[in-house]
Amino acid sequence: MWRAAFISLRPRSHLVWMDSVPKSAASVRKILCEAPMESVVQVSGTVISRPAGQENPKMPTGEIEIKVKTAELLNACKKLPFEIKDFMKKTEALRLQYRYLDLRSFQMQYNLRLRSQMVMKMRDYLCNLHGFVDIETPTLFKRTPGGAKEFLVPSREPGKFYSLPQSPQQFKQLLMVGGLDRYFQVARCYRDEGSRPDRQPEFTQIDIEMSFVDQTGIQSLIEGLLQYSWPNDKDPVVVPFPSMTFAEALATYGTDKPDTRFGMKIIDISDVFRNTEIRFLQDALSKPHGTVKAICIPEGAKYLKRKDIESIRKFSADHFDQEILPVFLNTNRNWNSPVANFIMESKRPELIRLMETQEEDVVLLTAGEHNKACSLLGKLRLECADLLETRGVVLRDPTLFSFLWVVDFPLFLPKEENPRELESAHHPFTAPHPSDIHLLYTEPKKVRSQHYDLVLNGNEIGGGSIRIHNAELQRYILATLLKEDVKLLSHILQALDYGAPPHGGIALGLDRLICLVTGSPSIRDVIAFPKSFRGHDLMSNTPDSIPPEELKPYHIQVSWPTDSKAAKAH
Amino acid sequence: MWRAAFISLRPRSHLVWMDSVPKSAASVRKILCEAPMESVVQVSGTVISRPAGQENPKMPTGEIEIKVKTAELLNACKKLPFEIKDFMKKTEALRLQYRYLDLRSFQMQYNLRLRSQMVMKMRDYLCNLHGFVDIETPTLFKRTPGGAKEFLVPSREPGKFYSLPQSPQQFKQLLMVGGLDRYFQVARCYRDEGSRPDRQPEFTQIDIEMSFVDQTGIQSLIEGLLQYSWPNDKDPVVVPFPSMTFAEALATYGTDKPDTRFGMKIIDISDVFRNTEIRFLQDALSKPHGTVKAICIPEGAKYLKRKDIESIRKFSADHFDQEILPVFLNTNRNWNSPVANFIMESKRPELIRLMETQEEDVVLLTAGEHNKACSLLGKLRLECADLLETRGVVLRDPTLFSFLWVVDFPLFLPKEENPRELESAHHPFTAPHPSDIHLLYTEPKKVRSQHYDLVLNGNEIGGGSIRIHNAELQRYILATLLKEDVKLLSHILQALDYGAPPHGGIALGLDRLICLVTGSPSIRDVIAFPKSFRGHDLMSNTPDSIPPEELKPYHIQVSWPTDSKAAKAH
């Protein structure tokens, strides 16, 4: 009894055991025995039940075997660069170089087939159940204002370029103006960010837009979409998803994409210290937006080592310029820290009540400006969760999918380069919150938007908004508040003038979503032919050089950096 | 009784008549009466049946009307650049500039919604009924050898470029090697052909590949696919489709994409003239592949004018360097042509029998090398069909969809630049016909391929082939016969070495198919945001200039043509 490794039934994940061939057919036996692993063999024979006791209930084909009559070697396989077994550790570079072999692994087959099935169900839901129209939009388009991350495509007209868009945003809004009131597309998008881990230069989003809809309408559509398309082998999705304002997410989890699978929430303990004599807390509280905040690490005293606490303090000082004070209930462990001991002694009852601290917990306390303190504690919350999990604590149930809407984002943020100017928190077409419209003309920084993010297990998997449908309001925001060159978007402003209906939409990041659903470590595991960290295709050596004469039709030439020019000369 | 033109129900093609408002609500009446055409109005009211006799059975909503209670003007529409009525003639430039308004027309709404529905049914057929996996392949890829029509995308590495592929050909074959044995994708493809009418720089194909399949397998899959996805309001598709060899198509219709909705086939009448005394026929027949061919234009004597015949003769002389002899049954009409008269008198019975000529027909006769004579008559056949149809003859039933497989193409063609060298008739991965493999090593020009084209009403709407799965054969064809630089395709050759299964596939041109199904005059009518003839987006002014400093990250600069540099200096 033996096994042919890559037979015609293999691609559909149905490996079949083959019975020993009859003694007469020595040639058949020779072909099958001598074919190298992963070769393609065509056999004919009879499917029979396996002998009693030899069935394998774990395999879909575990109850049958084939009595082989004839065999033909269709394609022999050369010596492989690695064995195709899921447990074999291979470097990512090797996997990407031989992607066509890596795709044969059980995990890649599962991931790509599940992706296809989920997308098919999404299409069924949108198209057949909800009357959406699948419309393809161009990818050779015009550069958007500030589109520094867009890929350029030279045309055959001197100095004229197309741009590969980051999303079909403009087109989907124009479709609403065009009366195609329910649009969706599984859209290819492009973002040129150089080398960022877990980002791809081209990625896919489930892109949706509809007319005459409000925030709740989009949200329940998406909840239904995910519920409908969710794989059967997972626990069903429970709807509606909980919702949280941006302000609450920041205050409680220190981030706009909270992982709500576990607690360790940020607690404001400023009131405990209103009349404190501890100097650094006093200082912090006296400043504008000054607060004292803390998180409680359950059983932290048991699982965190002294060097963990030290590295947490160092991280806080280095990256946030903030001090972190670890406080243990058992004052013996407050390593020579009189402040921690003092807090534990004097504020013990209040602290225990507010933080719900237990004997073996440790409280990480910080003081400072609200946003900064929250952001730091949000980072430490995730950091400590990772640490506890490496020590064997199960904080985040891997079968749990915890969806969350985050809403009421600010419409504008101060520009990083010049904080007195404003930029869109998301994009300039986002509608202001109806209750804040009057503030646009007085205190635009305070205006909340009708943007919403969908978060899954601490990852942003989608975002959308109700859009501005009034040309005048759009022009005011673009020209007066954002100081953008309105000419580049004149077609949008014009379109809004011709009877644009109220509309809104959302885009879900498909690669990220499938990555989370399949529990894959990287989005590269749910993409058939991904690029490397540096944006390369390692299989085909892409991007590649082009001879100068082939650049001529595009009227471009390469500007070699001076050092590399020198290098070329030698 | 009056009508609001663009109300909330309009986008779903449900215009609704609204009843006169109650006298009390003068404000409501004012809003509705004063809103400009195509404005967005929100009304609330009661849906009631129309008064007996006022129903409109031609409208989906023709039996109801709304008694309006409240009305709100959500967005007023400015003066439109054109009226949104299908019968309104607009220039294509105007339509493209205001595409979002043009999309509101009944025809564009119908075309895009039908396209979405057909594609959805195709997905259902492939994915749910036939176990295909929808897999996305990259569009930022490596330039293919000879890919002169590919768009380039500069990367952020000096001198390194991606290329936007013309098709996912390489990826789909690699997926077969990767054990994903049934792949499909509604794939965006790119072809940079400058300005060709009815071509788009980006277009969409239904891309399919499967393992362990032969030509018949792919063909019946596609027949089933079209039958399954065909719109209900058309006559059902009859399968299997007829099939014709390339040689037969050329000999009978003068083209590899015959329009089989009508006759007027090319007839070889060489035998009639074997012993002719007519000099130019004698000359032609004495040369290699020399033939005499003709087509019969039914009722041509009635519908074709003398100047039509003259322009046909001029066309033939100018473009094919061939003489065309028009022969009428009635010798009086053979305008002073002794040759035509002589043919009619001496060869009358044979000619009438072979050509099935009737009293009012005209025969167009030419003599020369087989392929050339056929090509010319193929062109004239279509030309005359157009002429007859402008004169009111119905040759091609507009409700008829005539599918045809064309098979047994040559594998290689002589290169245009150097006819002693070979190039692939389709692409270098096409497998040779099994009966011709031995000729690869002796007379490669004679090898037929396993390529097949799908033709609909004289348009090529798809093409595919069984591919080479043997690395050695692929290497021989690439290196020895085609003299290609094998390095550029080394990843493909390597992949074939690792146990590639036999495989084949096809790609259907979706834009063209939907264009034919909807009876649209141009593929631009089935694409939401098409480019102009010159590859421009007239709405947003794309492609556009980019400031030199924004080209820096891509290490490119524009090479201005000398005259335009001079122009810039002034």
Q: In 3-state terms, what secondary structure has residue B284?
A: helix
The mean predicted confidence, pLDDT, of chain B is 90
B245 touches B408 (CB < 8 A): yes
Closest chain A residue to the Cα of B39, Cα to Cα: A499
Contact A152 B155 (CB under 8 A): no
Place of tokens 């609204």: B18
Structure tokens at A38: 């992963």
B343 vs B341: CA distance, rounded Å:
5
B528 chain-A contacts, CB cut-off 8 A: 135-137, 171, 175, 178, 180
Alpha-carbon gap: A146 to the closest alpha carbon of chain B (Å): 10
First to last CA, chain B: 63
Nearest chain A residue to B138 by CA distance is A529
pLDDT the model gives residue A21 = 52
For residue range B525-559, list pLDDT tens digits in order.
999 999 998 899 999 999 999 999 989 999 999 99
CB within 8 Å: B527 and A78: no
How far CA A204 is from CA of A157, A238, A279, A386, B166, in Å, comes to: 30, 25, 52, 29, 19
Cα separation, B158 vs B554, whole angstroms: 7
Cβ-defined contact of B135 to A117 (cutoff 8 Å): no
* A2 CB-contact burial (10 Å; exposed 0-12 / middle 13-18 / buried 19+): exposed
Residues of A in contact with B188 (CB under 8 A): 136, 139, 188
Q: What angle do CA B306, B311, B316 make, to 5 degrees?
A: 130
Closest residue in A to B555 (Cα–Cα):
A559
Compute the distance between CA of residue A473 and CA of residue A450 in angstroms, rounded to an integer.
15
Mention every residue, 6+ apart, whose C-beta is less than 8 A from residue A5.
A37, A38, A39
Q: Which of A172, A540, A552, A565 to mutate to test the interface with B (most CBs of B within 10 A)?
A: A540
Measured between beta carbons, which residues in chain B are less than 8 angstroms from residue A546? 143, 152, 159, 161
Mutate to test the interface with B, among A37, A83, A85, A116 (most CBs of B within 10 A): A116
d(CA B395, CA A437) in angstroms, rounded, equals: 64
Are B499 and A75 in contact (CB < 8 Å)? yes
CB B509 within 8 A of CB B499: no
Best mutation target among A130, A529, A564 (most B Cβ atoms within 10 Å) is: A529
Strand partners, A503: A211
Contact B75 A112 (CB under 8 A): no
Q: How far is Cα B388 from Cα B394, in angstroms, rounded to an integer? A: 8
Nearest to B127 among A10, A75, A116 (CB): A116
A-B contacts (CB, under 8 Å): 340
Q: Under DSSP, is residue A473 helix (H, G, I), strand (E, B) or coil?
A: helix
Q: Which of A142, A175, A201 sits opposite B542 (nearest CB)?
A: A142
- pTM of full prediction above 0.90: yes
Tokens of B165: 């592929």
Nearest to A540 among B8, B123, B491 (CB): B491
Min distance B354 CA to chain A CA atoms (Å): 49
Strands (E), B252-299: 267-268, 290-297
B439 contacts: CB under 8 Å, gap ≥ 6: B446, B447
Q: What are phi and psi of B421, to 5 degrees?
A: -95, 160
Nearest to B137 among A152, A175, A529 (CB): A529
- pLDDT tens for chain A, residues 1 to 570: 233 333 444 434 445 556 555 554 678 878 877 888 888 888 888 888 888 887 878 777 778 777 888 888 999 999 888 877 766 677 888 999 999 999 999 999 999 999 999 999 999 999 999 999 999 999 999 987 766 789 999 999 999 999 999 999 999 999 999 999 999 999 999 998 865 667 899 999 999 999 999 999 999 999 999 999 999 999 999 999 999 999 999 999 999 999 999 999 999 999 999 888 888 899 999 999 999 999 999 999 999 999 999 999 999 999 999 999 999 888 778 877 888 888 878 888 888 999 999 889 999 999 999 999 999 999 999 999 999 999 999 999 989 999 999 999 999 999 988 999 999 999 999 999 999 999 999 999 999 999 999 999 999 999 999 999 999 999 999 999 999 888 888 999 999 999 999 999 999 999 999 999 999 999 999 999 999 988 999 999 999 999 999 899 999 999 998 875 545 544
A305: closest CA of chain B, how far (Å) = 44
Residues of B in contact with A499 (CB under 8 A): 6, 36, 38-40, 75-77
ipTM, 2 decimals?
Answer: 0.92
The verdict on a CB contact (< 8 Å) between B499 and A212 is: no
- Domains in chain A, start-ordered, CATH in brackets? 7-75 (2.40.50.140), 108-245+402-525 (3.30.930.10), 262-390 (3.30.1360.30)
Using left for φ > 0, alpha for ψ between -120 and 50, and beta otherwise, residue A478 falls in alpha
- All residues at 6 or more sequence positions from B398 whose CB lies less than 8 Å from its CB, including other chains: B519
Angle at A211 between CA A206 and CA A214, to 5 degrees: 85
A501 contacts on B by Cβ (under 8 Å): 8, 11, 40, 74-75
**Across the interface, which of B151, B544, B561 has its CB nearest the CB of A143?**
B544
Q: Which residue of A has its CA nearest to B469?
A: A75
Which residues from chain B sit within 8 angstroms of residue A555, using beta carbons? 558-561
Backbone angles phi and psi of A101, in degrees to 5:
-85, -40
- Please judge whether B543 and A74 are an interchain contact, meaning their C-beta atoms are less than 8 angstroms apart: no
Please report residues of B whose CB lies closer than 8 A to that of A101.
177-178, 498
